[in-house]
Amino acid sequence: MSEITTNFNDRTIEYNQLLDDFKSLIKKNNLKFTIQREVILETLYNSDEHLTPEELHRIIQEKYPELKTGIATVYRTLSLLEDSNIVTSLSFGAQGKKYELGAKDHHDHLICTVCGDITEFVDEEIEKRQHKITDELGFKMLDHSMQIYGVCKACQEKNKSN
Amino acid sequence: MSEITTNFNDRTIEYNQLLDDFKSLIKKNNLKFTIQREVILETLYNSDEHLTPEELHRIIQEKYPELKTGIATVYRTLSLLEDSNIVTSLSFGAQGKKYELGAKDHHDHLICTVCGDITEFVDEEIEKRQHKITDELGFKMLDHSMQIYGVCKACQEKNKSN
DNA sequence: GTCTCTGCAAACCCTTTGCAGGGGG
DNA sequence: CCCCCTGCAAAGGGTTTGCAGAGAC
């Protein structure tokens, strides 16, 4: 039995639960619950992809054109969600960040450099080693991220058949 | 009194090697070897830090003010060096990249979110697990990077004494 | 002499901010 | 009603690009 698990797309967290959490957070900080904030959370929830702020904005504009949601609101809401650990971001150099719901369990990323597809995985042994390393150095770990770049199975096969 | 040989010579030899590699690369691609390109490589070599393009530019301007090296040249040369796998970069979201010589052995990074200091480490067990994961998924690994974010020992102690 | 490389400045892209009006609690 | 949130547009920060002259080969 492998310790490796992939693709958390079978949602462990119900949307209503997530929404409730977000509402509590908002109430606790004397913020306001707006339709824009709800739509951004919902869109992130319903997407299996890692989205850039721009992609998120475009999807929302297409689905709810009457809201005229501004890109600035998307950025502001993503910051709020990231600060609250509801979403997490992946950096892609100067080409910006991609966001995903962070309510799932922690996981790392396999990134295909051909098709851009991102696969998630968790490895308990790696997690353990990370703690061991930081403990030994007296480093207080707050977060970590790991990306493996390469060519996914599908792209390798596609390449063979050409 | 004999000439003293120190381990500094190792670095000198490595630098000449590096420079030769760079020159071959340049010749092979019908590019030109310029003083600016040499100074950029040399500065990266002589720095133990991970540098941003801006930092690199500032150091070069201070050391060789007569060259009036432009920031654009720094960016162009870094791209050239990265494409050639002579340097590697670390992403910091929208806040840009930091570069380091990639000729050293592979290693991962501990990044202090307080002082920005970067510590390098290698853990064989993690490297092994990464190969195991990609093998099982039929993913062809080309590269990987891991960053652990947190507070370094020095910053924790500084914080205590305040 | 040819053709790349350079510095400069403008352009670009992504992200943040200031502002006045809108809307949640 | 207060004051947070929004859309808009302008500003910001890092990076790239167009250009004409300088320089490598």
What is the 3-state secondary structure of chain A?
CCCCEECCCCCCCCHHHHHHHHHHHHHHCCCCCCHHHHHHHHHHHHCCCCECHHHHHHHHHHHCHHHCCCHHHHHHHHHHHHHCCCEEEEEECECCEEEEECCCCCCEEEEECCCCCEEEEECHHHHHHHHHHHHHHCCEEEEEEEEEEEECHHHHHHHHHC
Nearest C-alpha of chain A: how many angstroms from B105?
17
Instruction: Judge whether A17 and A86 are in contact, CB under 8 Å.
Output: no
Q: Which of B78, B109, B125, B129 to mutate to test the interface with A (most CBs of A within 10 A)?
A: B129
Rounded to the nearest 10 degrees, the angle between the axes of helix A53-63 and helix A71-83 is 120
pLDDT at residue A129 is higher than 60: yes
Chain-chain contact of B126 with A130 (C-beta, under 8 angstroms): yes
Which nucleotide across the nucleic acid strands is nearest to A31, CA versus C1'?
Answer: D4
Q: Closest CA to D17 C1' — which residue? A: B72
B112 in a known ligand binding site: yes
**What mean pLDDT comes out for the span B43-54?**
91
Which H or E element spans position B90? strand B87-91
Nearest C-alpha of chain B: how many angstroms from A45?
22
Name the pLDDT band for B97 (thresholds 50, 70, 90): confident
pLDDT at residue A45 is higher than 90: yes
pLDDT of res. A111: 79
- A contacts of B138 (beta carbons < 8 Å): 152-153, 156
pLDDT of res. A149: 80
Per the document, the length of chain A is 162
pLDDT at residue B126 is higher than 50: yes
- Taken in order of first residue, the domains within chain B and their CATH numbers are 12-104 (1.10.10.10), 105-161 (3.30.1490.190)
**What mean pLDDT comes out for the span B112-128?**
82
Which H or E element spans position B103? none
Strand D contacts in A 32-61 (CB under 7 A): 32, 34, 36-37
